Structure 1
Amino acid sequence: MHACVAFLTSAVLFLSQAGGTPPPVSVWRNPSNSVHIRAAPCGAGVMCATVIWANDKAKADARRGGTETLIGTQLFRNFKATGRNQWKGEVFVPDLNHTFGGTVTPIDDDHLLGKGCTLFGTVCKEQIWTRIRQ
């Protein structure tokens, strides 16, 4: 369940600027540094993010849920600006083989607050993600 929540709240991770224009390609890590994603535009005003690195535990959790290859899996899909400082979209949770809703709110250029919810918004978790400078 821990990995499930980590992936679900990963929806938080990847948008670094407010407004409706997607930011340029960027790389983010979750708080436990077990998953890195590359966020990039994937349509007009839309952002998506793909796993580019994961530790062995994250890979094993994904396999147990039915996702054989975590690296290359698009976890974050169709994130769009819903206000000046928030984005909303879908996140695929590999260890549950299910897609949920999530939001991302930029804190500053290098940190994002992500929130993912299940059960019609009754069970939520928040995490702060950090940009990986390259």
Structure 2
Amino acid sequence: MMRSVLVSMMLLAAPAAAQNATLSERTYGTWQNPKNSVHVEARECDGKMCGVVVWASDKAKADARRGGTDQLIGRQLFQDFEEQQEGRWKGKVFVPDINRTFHGTVTIIDADTLEGKGCLLGGIGCKSQVWTRVK
């Protein structure tokens, strides 16, 4: 009896694991901002999702330096993101132009599009950007 319960639990858990892998495949990868001035690689960092700058235009690097962020390449723009519901992640968003971190969300729109949104405390002063997958 106990063995059949364990087998049943394992069979029920298998589709959830496959679904999570599919979600990771949809979320992880390299994304570009609307101006194609920054490319961020979404990947796992310490069991959570993060977005690390892997490429930036000279203008984006200069804007970041003016804002107080000396090194843009390698910097985590999306930090400590945890999935809240399927396709919607919540964490912190670093804005290099002003050298500040805000609460934010990433929502998967489709396989090649996501929306990143950052807000001041209490959900006011929000800004969002639609990012597209780099092919």
Q: Which residue of 2 aligns with 1:6?
A: none
Unmatched segments (≥5 aa) in structure 2: 1-18
RMSD: 1.8
Identify, as 1 or 2, the structure richer in helix. Answer: 2
Q: Which residue of 2 aligns with 1:82?
A: 84
Q: Which of 29, 33, 36 lines up with 1:30 in the alignment? A: 33
What is the letter of the counterpart of residue 30 of structure 1?
A: N
Q: Which residue of 1 aligns with 2:10?
A: none
Give the distance between the partners of 1:20 and 1:77, measured in 2 at CA.
20
The alpha-carbon deviation at position 27 of structure 1 amounts to 0.3
- The answer as to whether partners of 1:38 and 1:52 remain within 8 angstroms in 2 is yes
Structure with max Cα Rg: 2
Unmatched segments (≥5 aa) in structure 1: 1-18
Q: Which residue of 2 aligns with 1:121?
A: 123
- Partner of 1:23, secondary structure, is helix
Query: What is the percentage of aligned positions where both structures have the same residue?
Result: 56
Aligned residue pairs total: 114
What is the letter of the counterpart of residue 102 of structure 1?
A: G
TM-score by length of 1: 0.77
Q: Which residue of 2 aligns with 1:59?
A: 61
Q: Structure 1 residues 85, 40: CA separation in 2 closer, same or farther (over 3 Å shift)?
A: closer
TM-score by length of 2: 0.76
- The answer as to whether partners of 1:115 and 1:125 remain within 8 angstroms in 2 is yes
Give the distance between the partners of 1:115 and 1:92, measured in 2 at CA.
11
- The answer as to whether partners of 1:20 and 1:81 remain within 8 angstroms in 2 is no
Higher relative contact order (CA 8 A, sep 6+): 1
The alpha-carbon deviation at position 47 of structure 1 amounts to 0.5
The alpha-carbon deviation at position 43 of structure 1 amounts to 2.4
